[in-house]
């Protein structure tokens, strides 16, 4: 079997890269370990930066997002018993974010791939990457009990944090940078109307809370929890009571609760791999980096990696440019580190780290300072809507 670009992983990174390359007549094969159903039922992020919205439109998968997604002009920070709205639109010359679930993005991309009759092979096992430091890389995998070999020009490792791509690189060829946080988030999805039209991020003495949404009838809420906590210890009732105690009273009074249709606990982590290119292997999205979810940057960073790899490959194939792929790591990492910084900072600003009253006063002063200054609100807004993509020229 032969293709131009072998893509490992059918999450948003792999599917979006595949779709953009397909529109340029560049052949791809996607290998995915799970079933399509499994991939579609992972509940993940839901806030898209303008750059990602534009890229989805360029990939011709933006129609449903444009119909059903909700454009948000701002969000609210709640702390010390008060609320400050960050007016994204006015602070960034008209930029906004769009609330549209990763699940929906994935569904639209899967549909486009099947309409394009491009090959995705699900439920593959024992995926192995070979010869990516040579001119003719190969990927082998097992499907229905048979070993298959896929020859290619390039391999895109879009297989997430636990994938095989990063693990295939010799240990001395990469460096990783990591920070774990001493808490997690428990998230609940419920078929209830959102408590407010925009997102509310709350800093509270009991810990962080977030009110988010997927649509007019589907809400997503989170509260900071202990890393030792198990989902079974969090009945719906305990979750709603805790959420209400951490958000402003008048908001809590309006909260409509209902049975959770999904509930999960996630640890918070910052992680970056350098470089992201190893010969003809390119790491994309969660395979190369993780951010804590405060600030909603994970999916958006995957999209900016895809943008960079897609344009570099397009110009390599169609214009004979052989310099661009060499710059993939540097271009991606410049933007990634800035998003890592913002996600780390939002996490530090909004969570309860300890009972130390000095830390709490500093956090409080930081919130007062940033929200009370035009420069402070602007820096929050321009990072939240997403820093610009570097043109690939
Ligand atoms: N072989 C084939 N596929 C694999 C392998 C493997 N060895 N290991 C993992 N995969 C698949 C996973 O099953 C998954 O479907 O790779 C896919 C990776 O998808 P994601 O984890 O969603 O990562 P990515 O596509 O980079 O998406 C960006 O950023 O912050 C997050 O929520 C955000 O999940 C989103 C991610
Ligand atoms: C979500 O809706 O899942 C969400 C929104 C904003 C975040 C993180 C998660 O910062």
The distance of Cα 281 from the centroid of its chain, to the nearest Å, equals 21
Residue 367 tokens, joined: 């919130």
Residue 302 Cβ inside 6 Å of ligand 1? The answer reads yes
- Alpha-carbon distance of 14 to 32, in angstroms, equals 9
Q: Provide residues with CB under 6 Å of ligand 2.
A: 45-47, 199, 212, 220, 293-296
Residue 39 Cβ inside 6 Å of ligand 1? The answer reads yes
The distance of Cα 162 from the centroid of its chain, to the nearest Å, equals 15
Report how far ligand 1's centroid is from the alpha carbon of 163 (Å). Answer: 7
List all residues 6 or more positions away from 285 whose beta carbon is below 8 Å from its beta carbon. 11, 12, 13, 158, 160, 301, 302, 305, 306
If one residue of 45, 200, 342 were mutated to test the ligand 2 pocket, choosing by the most ligand atoms within 8 A of its CB, it would be 45
The pLDDT score that the predictor gives to residue 248 is 97
Q: Domain locations in the chain?
A: 5-70+97-177+268-352
Residue 160 Cβ inside 6 Å of ligand 1? The answer reads yes
- Alpha-carbon distance of 245 to 136, in angstroms, equals 59
Contact 83, 248 (CB under 8 A): yes
Nearest CA residue ID for atom 1, ligand 1: 33
The pLDDT score that the predictor gives to residue 88 is 98
Q: Which ligand places an atom closest to the C-alpha of 155?
A: 1
Contact 184, 227 (CB under 8 A): yes
The pLDDT score that the predictor gives to residue 44 is 86
The pLDDT score that the predictor gives to residue 43 is 83
What is the value of pTM for the model shown? 0.98
Which atom belonging to ligand 2 lies closest to the Cα atom of 212? 2
If one residue of 209, 212, 264, 347 were mutated to test the ligand 2 pocket, choosing by the most ligand atoms within 8 A of its CB, it would be 212
The pLDDT score that the predictor gives to residue 360 is 93
Angle at Cα 206 formed by Cα 203 and Cα 210, nearest 5°? 45
In terms of CATH architecture, what is 5-70+97-177+268-352?
Answer: 3-Layer(bba) Sandwich (3.50)
List all residues 6 or more positions away from 114 whose beta carbon is below 8 Å from its beta carbon. none
Helix (H) or strand (E) segment spanning residue 98: strand 97-99
The pLDDT score that the predictor gives to residue 269 is 98
- Alpha-carbon distance of 176 to 164, in angstroms, equals 16
Q: Which ligand places an atom closest to the C-alpha of 304?
A: 1
pLDDT along the chain (393 residues), means of 10: 98 98 98 97 91 98 98 98 97 97 97 97 98 98 98 98 98 98 97 98 98 95 98 98 98 97 96 98 98 97 98 98 96 98 98 95 97 98 98 95
Tell me how crowded residue 165 is: count the other CB atoms within 10 A of its CB: 25
If one residue of 285, 292, 295, 343 were mutated to test the ligand 1 pocket, choosing by the most ligand atoms within 8 A of its CB, it would be 285
- Alpha-carbon distance of 291 to 271, in angstroms, equals 7
Residue 183 tokens, joined: 């808490």
Report how far ligand 2's centroid is from the alpha carbon of 38 (Å). Answer: 21
Contact 12, 299 (CB under 8 A): yes
Report how far ligand 1's centroid is from the alpha carbon of 12 (Å). Answer: 7
The pLDDT score that the predictor gives to residue 45 is 86
Residue 91 Cβ inside 6 Å of ligand 1? The answer reads no
The pLDDT score that the predictor gives to residue 71 is 98
Alpha carbon distances (Å) from 371 to 79, 334, 342, 378: 11, 27, 15, 9
| Residues identified as active-site | 72, 201, 293, 297, 384
Instruction: Give phi and psi for 92, each to the nearest 5.
Output: -125, 25
């Amino acid at each position: 079997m032969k293709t131009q670009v072998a893509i490992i992983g059918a999450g948003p990174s792999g599917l979006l890269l595949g779709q953009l390359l397909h529109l340029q007549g560049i052949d791809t094969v996607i290998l995915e370990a799970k079933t399509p159903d499994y991939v579609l039922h992972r509940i993940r992020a839901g806030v898209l930066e303008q750059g990602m919205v534009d890229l989805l439109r360029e990939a011709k998968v933006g129609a449903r997002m444009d119909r059903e997604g909700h454009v948000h002009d701002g969000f609210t920070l709640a702390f010390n018993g008060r609320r400050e709205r960050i007016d994204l639109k006015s602070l960034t010359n008209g930029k906004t974010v769009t609330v549209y679930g990763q699940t929906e993005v994935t569904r639209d991309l899967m549909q486009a791939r099947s309409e394009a009759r491009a090959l995705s092979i699900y439920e593959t096992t024992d995926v192995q990457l070979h010869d990516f430091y040579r001119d003719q890389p190969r990927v082998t995998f097992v499907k229905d009990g048979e070993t298959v070999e896929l020859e290619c020009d390039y391999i895109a490792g879009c297989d997430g944090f636990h994938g095989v791509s990063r693990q295939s690189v010799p240990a001395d060829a990469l460096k990783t940078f990591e920070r774990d946080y001493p808490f997690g988030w428990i998230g609940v999805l419920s078929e209830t109307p959102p408590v407010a039209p925009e997102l509310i991020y709350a800093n509270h003495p009991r810990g962080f809370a977030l009110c988010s949404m997927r649509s007019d009838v589907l809400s997503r809420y989170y509260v900071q929890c202990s890393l030792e906590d198990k989902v079974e210890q969090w009945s719906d009732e305990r979750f709603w009571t805790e959420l209400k105690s951490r958000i402003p009273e008048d908001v809590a009074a309006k909260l409509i609760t209902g049975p959770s249709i999904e509930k999960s606990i996630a640890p918070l982590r910052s992680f970056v791999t350098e470089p992201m290119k190893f010969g003809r292997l390119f790491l994309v999205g969660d395979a190369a980096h993780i951010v804590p979810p405060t600030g909603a940057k994970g999916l958006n960073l995957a999209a900016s990696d895809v943008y960079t790899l897609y344009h570099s490959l397009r110009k390599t194939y169609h214009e004979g440019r052989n310099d661009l792929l060499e710059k993939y790591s540097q271009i991606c990492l410049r933007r990634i580190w800035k998003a890592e910084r913002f996600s780390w900072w939002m996490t530090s600003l909004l969570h309860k780290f300890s009972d130390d009253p000095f830390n709490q006063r500093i956090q409080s002063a930081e919130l007062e300072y940033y929200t009370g200054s035009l420069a402070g609100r602007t820096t929050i807004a321009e990072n939240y809507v997403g820093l610009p993509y570097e043109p690939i020229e």
